Amino acid sequence: MGSLWKSLENTDPEVLSIVQREVAREKERINLIASENYAPVSVIEAQASVLTNKYAEGYPRRRYYPGCEIVDDAERLAVKRAKELFGSEYANVQPHSGTQANMVVYMCALSPGDLMMAMDLACGGHLSHGSHNNLAGRIYGVCHYGVNRKSECLDYDEISAIAKREKPKLIIAGGSSYPRQIDFAAFAEIARSVGAKLLVDMAHFSGLVAGKVHSDPVPHADFVSSTTHKTLRGPRGGFVLSRANYAEILDRSVFPGIQGGPFMNVIAAKAVCFKEAMTDDFSIYAKTIVENAKALCEKVISEGLRAVSGGTDTHLFLIDVRPLGITGKEAQEALSHAGIDANMNVLPYDELPPNETGGLRIGTPAVTSRGMKPGHMAYLGELISNVLKNSKSLSVIEKTKREIFELARSFPIYPDFEQ
Ligand SMILES: *Cc1c(COP(=O)(O)O)cnc(C)c1O
């Protein structure tokens, strides 16, 4: 890597300095953004390789370019490992992102104008699940289910009733800010009862599935989509799993359906990520993510804050900041000034708009990658609660900022690697 940085220094010191400033920013701050993580150096090296040069439209041994024998090995390895890791009959590792992975499934399972049913954005759904701001929302019809107003959890009787009324062709389970386990068998039963296909979007929790600390969607879903950069801790990208009977149509939906040439460097990095996710160390990592999330959530609750649904079973939870007399945006800004990154998020049935919100989403994948344990979460929870309760106090924010800086310094992200 050393010589690569040398070239960048010579040709474009401006960009090198951006990279260096970002390295420093990562080091100094505590990252509680539930969708982020730190890719290991092995992943970054594969991604920074000359495999970025190769055009490889098509699939291994069925390419539209010569000279693909070697990158074919990278893709075959990534596919083999994805199938092994998740116990799936088919995997496509070419989607550039989680949103692309979802589009691929829509193209395969729906015709323009068909209806899909997904979790409401306000209750934890994702923009790529048919939002009117997204291409899928223009092509397909969409209806929604939410969470129960009282329990703030999924209510399968209610979801079943909506499915029977609306008769969607595709039902999507999985979201971006739902803190609880999802009953995939119940979703599969609902889908079967109305003749719909089931897509589980495990973008957020695929690392927990790989580490066997989350219910497993693969035996229940027709399709599973995911990112590789969230809890799975790989390069920025996506993939799709399914049973073998959809192999051909899914392959065609990716290419030439919605993408051109795959990013072979990223596919190699995905192979590395899947290998790492098969290790015992990764299982321990996944388990610790959840233990940390529970510990952090319990601490902020004990400090008097309210968590949506009363807690978490996963890597994330949502704090309702409205009782503190602030918005999610104000909470995000106060924490940011104190060196903590966590993002504002709409709450179920939030009356505030998405650019203000009444909630704050907190996740533990990144701090767990840094080596933090439940004991550290108690301390972090205390700092967070103190800032949120005193969000207008400059002295509290300044003091917390110094403590966060010290905490961050004692947990290096890349201990053996100087960038
Ligand atoms: C993050 C996420 C995605 C999309 O990921 P991108 O890679 O940003 O396109 C899709 N679905 C859900 C539920 C997500 O949380």
Q: Which of 325, 324, 343 is nearest to 333 (CA)?
A: 343
Q: Which of 76, 236, 287, 306 is catalytic?
A: 236
Please give the Cα distance from 303 to 1 (Å, whole number): 45
Quickly list H helices, 256-279.
Answer: 264-277
Q: Which residues pair with 171 in a beta bridge?
A: 117, 198
Clarify whether 138 is annotated catalytic: no
CA 156 to chain CA centroid, Å, is 24
Please give the Cα distance from 13 to 57 (Å, whole number): 34
Kind and range of the H or E run holding 343: strand 343-345
Clarify whether 281 is annotated catalytic: no
- Pocket of ligand 1, candidates 105, 128, 236: which has the most ligand atoms within 8 Å of its Cβ, to mutate? 128
Ligand 1 lining (C-beta closer than 6 Å): 35, 97-99, 102, 126, 128, 174-176, 201, 203-204, 227, 238
- Look at residue 39 in the predicted model and tell me its pLDDT: 97
Domain boundaries, the chain: 45-276, 288-411
Kind and range of the H or E run holding 409: helix 394-409
Clarify whether 149 is annotated catalytic: no
How much distance in Å is there from the Cα of 34 to the middle of ligand 1?
Answer: 12
**Mean per-residue pLDDT pooled into runs of 10, the chain (419 residues):** 76 96 96 98 96 98 96 98 98 98 97 97 90 93 96 97 98 97 98 98 98 98 98 98 97 97 98 98 98 98 97 98 97 98 96 94 98 97 98 97 97 80
3-state secondary structure at position 329: helix
- CB 79: neighbour CB atoms within 10 A? 23
CATH of domain 45-276: 3.40.640.10
How much distance in Å is there from the Cα of 95 to the middle of ligand 1?
Answer: 12
- Look at residue 419 in the predicted model and tell me its pLDDT: 52
Q: Which residues have a Cβ under 8 Å from the Cβ of 193 and sit 6 or more positions away?
A: 160, 163, 164
Please give the Cα distance from 179 to 159 (Å, whole number): 18
Put residue 10 in one of left, alpha, beta given phi > 0 → left and psi -120 to 50 → alpha.
alpha
Q: Which residues pair with 319 in a beta bridge?
A: 307, 360
Which CATH class, in words, describes the domain spanning 288-411? alpha beta
How much distance in Å is there from the Cα of 124 to the middle of ligand 1?
Answer: 12
Kind and range of the H or E run holding 27: helix 13-28
Atom of ligand 1 nearest to the CA of 97: 7
- CB 353: neighbour CB atoms within 10 A? 10
